[in-house]
Chains A and B, each alone.
Chain A
Amino acid sequence: AQSVTQPDIHITVSEGASLELRCNYSYGATPYLFWYVQSPGQGLQLLLKYFSGDTLVQGIKGFEAEFKRSQSSFNLRKPSVHWSDAAEYFCAVGALTGGGNKLTFGTGTQLKVEL
């Protein structure tokens, strides 16, 4: 069975500073990996996804993530954080089952941005 670990529960960064959120996954085959963001009181929005090919993927809002198979990681990065990036971030791994694509989520990282 697949699993996702997000080791940082809370992270605080200053506006304009760089950001890296960590994600480690466990899955027996080639993973499908996702990062989602959830603003307070909102549903989840897809930031970016990795299926195959180039290991550095670009997403919306200036985010990028790098897939490293040797480290079973898919860390999310942003070169310069904006105050509006304060939210909770979830990493997820997808597995094909019964024709569907079951997503398993990590426990999330809460990002606080200091002005």
Chain B
Amino acid sequence: DVKVTQSSRYLVKRTGEKVFLECVQDMDHENMFWYRQDPGLGLRLIYFSYDVKMKEKGDIPEGYSVSREKKERFSLILESASTNQTSMYLCASSLPGTATPGAFFGQGTRLTVV
């Protein structure tokens, strides 16, 4: 079965901390995505990657960076966590191009910054 695994379901971090959210997929997908989900705002794209070491900014990249050193792993980094980054973070992966069956999502990481 297709699987996208996020390393933590819940995280509590302090303001100013550097935070790493990890995502691993076992489907050999080229594309990987990080979204944040907030009530009333839906899912907003932070960053995505279409190949190892390749990345593109999404709609709300400010305050975030990403790393993709291996095809199966895509990390989201909060350089200096702030309270307005408290949110649900969702990782997804998909095949490239028009053949994609749609993205597959992980269970999400609920991050609270205090």
- Chain A residues with CB under 8 Å of chain B are 6, 9, 32, 34, 36, 42-46, 49, 51, 90, 92, 94, 96-108
Contacts and interface: CB of A to CB of B under 8 A. Distances in A.
Q: Contact size class for B?
A: 20 to 34
A108 B35 CA distance: 14
B7 to A, nearest CB: 14
Interface string B35-51: 10000111111001111
Interface of B: 4, 30-31, 33, 35, 40-45, 48-51, 54, 56, 58-59, 90, 92, 94, 96-98, 100-108
B101 A9 contact: no
A98 B44 CA distance: 19
Contact of B56 (A98, A105, A106): A98
Contacts of A44: 43, 90, 92, 105
Contacts of B35: 105
A9 B58 contact: no
A43 to B, nearest CB: 4
A66 to B, nearest CB: 18
Contacts of A94: 100, 102
A101 to B, nearest CB: 5
Nearest to A35: B102
22 contacts: A9-B40, A34-B102, A42-B108, A43-B4, A43-B90, A43-B107, A43-B108, A44-B43, A45-B105, A46-B104, A51-B98, A98-B54, A98-B56, A100-B30, A100-B48, A101-B31, A101-B97, A102-B45, A103-B33, A105-B35, A107-B42, A108-B42
A104 to B, nearest CB: 7
B42 A101 contact: no
Given A96-B98, A102-B33, 15 more contacts: A42-B107, A43-B106, A49-B102, A97-B56, A98-B50, A99-B96, A100-B56, A100-B94, A100-B96, A101-B103, A102-B45, A102-B48, A103-B45, A105-B42, A105-B44
B82 to A, nearest CB: 23
Can you list the 3 inter-chain pairs with the closest CB atoms, starting with the nearest? A100-B50, A107-B42, A43-B105
